Amino acid sequence: MHELTLAEIARGLADKSFSSEELTGALLARVKQIDPQINSFISVTEELALGQARAADARRAAGETGALLGAPIAHKDLFCTLGVRTSCGSKMLDNFKAPYDATVVAKLAEAGMVTLGKTNMDEFAMGSANESSHYGAVKNPWNLEHVPGGSSGGSAAAVAARLLPATTGTDTGGSIRQPAALTNLTGLKPTYGRVSRWGMIAYASSLDQGGPLARTAEDCALLLQGMAGFDAKDSTSIDEPVPDYSAALNGSLQGLRIGLPKEYFGAGLDPRIAELVQASVKELEKLGAVVKEISLPNMQHAIPAYYVIAPAEASSNLSRFDGVRFGYRCEEPKDLTDLYKRSRGEGFGAEVQRRIMVGTYALSAGYYDAYYVKAQQIRRLIKNDFMAAFNDVDLILGPTTPNPAWKLGAKSSDPVAAYLEDVYTITANLAGLPGLSMPAGFVDGLPVGVQLLAPYFQEGRLLNVAHRYQQVTDWHTRAPNGF
């Protein structure tokens, strides 16, 4: 049963090939057996899962239907989950049990999904390799000596290892799409505001966005259907109708205009990945798409702008973790200042401390205009580039990452080298656009992804293109050896 996709599980539950309780028991046993190799889970919620599975079976027996009813899910460990440890991969929140469900968790539970546990992640979602977690690095199932990407690396590795068919993740600068690319999955970052951020512990509030990770675009469509929608509790949630994403999957690509930014194919991109991107373009052309070169001239400024804005917002968001109200508190503080300093110094890891310091510096008197304001001005220029491009094309296509997954520890001593791995993904977050990564081949036995970007609220178009591509290719069907 572990080899089934989410859509196949939905069909199996509907025709009574197996029950949710049987499926849940089998997957929990597999997690227990396999996960010690990859470290993708922080918490396994066996009792909760079996209770939810029995409830889902009872709902089906009473005549209720629904694609997600009784299907398994695991949540990235920054989605608050009632009564369950929600750690953000940090010592700071190791003892924190959420007193409520995040909106995403609540919506999927209401749809009948079964929560198997909480997945490992870079501490407070800060990282591109899932090596900064307090609970240890996550390993890539395709090669256990390599990283799975981050910060949603635990979510990605769990699906890639066939521990379950789908997970939730969050994407602040590529943290759904990048690990999806490095583990041979389909990962979708929705338009900013499409999925509620309420109950999602914040890293950078103007950039963070929750979304699905799964093996296929069809599965991502099912999950997004359950996650999306307006939430009055989230002031950044947008009241926009949610279409039927599954209904649009098989639409024709005839005449679809796809743009290839010339800036994507310069120095820094592994030429073998460039070849795979061009091969995916040829497949889409066979399906009727029309491809043309475009330009995103301000892309070169994206990384410096992002690494001012995101740490600045993080320094503000993480100021609440002070050892007073909740979370980690140092032992025997001498006074309030000592309590603050040692609680934060002992509770936060090195990468989090680095970004807090960068962000605080950028927001400080004398530097705010020179750094933060300038970065926001660049952000507007990047958004304008996309708006101009979407006057001429319907979608933008390119590589998701410049390189395949690197070895564990290879970039640990050089944070900037890890930051550069986000070069193709962060622009979508700066502009608030939806983006999707889909499997497109292998380099040295490691997966490679192709990224699609679309205008606001055009997630259906992304899923349609990815689904049609997956109907004529088999990259997404391949599993890592031993899993």
Q: Is residue 333 part of a domain?
A: no
pLDDT of residue 415: 81
Backbone angles phi, psi at 450, to 5 degrees: -110, 135
In a domain, 32, yes or no: yes
Tell which residue, 475, 478, 438, 455, has the closest CA to residue 220. 438
pLDDT at residue 418, as a whole number: 83
In-domain check, residue 420: yes
The pLDDT assigned to 326 comes to 86
pLDDT, tens digit, 9 for 90 and up, residues 302-355 = 999 999 999 999 999 999 999 998 899 999 999 999 999 999 999 999 999 999
Task: For residue 14, tell me if it sits in a domain.
Answer: yes
Specify whether 364 is catalytic: no
Q: What is the CATH number of the domain that holds 193?
A: 3.90.1300.10
The answer to whether position 472 is within a domain reads yes
151 upstream amide cis, omega within 30 of 0? yes
Check if 32 is active-site. no
pLDDT of residue 412: 83
User: Does residue 24 sit within a domain?
Assistant: yes
Our count of domains for the chain comes to 1
Q: What is the mean pLDDT of the chain?
A: 96
Residues of the chain with pLDDT under 50: none
List the structure tokens of 364: 């400080």
Give domain status of residue 293, yes or no.
no
Secondary structure class of 175 (helix, strand, coil): coil
Query: Which listed residue (175, 280, 315, 343) is catalytic?
Result: 175
- From the list 19, 20, 40, 76, the catalytic residue is 76
Among the listed residues 465, 301, 326, the one whose alpha carbon sits nearest the alpha carbon of residue 385: 301
C-alpha–C-alpha distance, residues 440 and 470, integer Å: 9
What is the rounded distance in angstroms from the CA atom of residue 320 to the CA atom of residue 141? 36
Q: What is the pLDDT of residue 365?
A: 87
CB 153 within 8 A of CB 122: yes
Distance CA 456, CA 458 (A): 6
Would you state the structure tokens that stand for residue 432, as one six-digit string? 């608030």
Instruction: Print the domain residue range for 471.
Output: 6-256+397-477
Q: Is the Cα dihedral 238, 244, 249, 250 positive or negative? A: negative
Q: For residue 308, is it within any domain?
A: no
Whether 91 is a known active-site residue: answer no
How far apart are alpha carbons 263 and 274 in whole angstroms?
A: 12
Per annotation, catalytic residue among 151, 152, 315, 437: 151
Give the number of other Cβ atoms within 10 Å of residue 32's Cβ.
13
31 contacts 44 by C-beta, under 8 angstroms: yes
pLDDT in the model for residue 466: 98
Which whole-number Å values give the CA distances from 102 to 132, 157, 210, 325, 382, in the listed order? 24, 23, 11, 20, 31
Tens-place pLDDT, residues 120-168: 999 999 999 999 999 999 999 999 999 999 999 999 999 999 999 999 9
Residue 242, amino acid: V
Q: What is the pLDDT of residue 459?
A: 98
- Can you tell me the distance from the alpha carbon of 237 to that of 206, in angstroms, rounded to the nearest whole number? 11
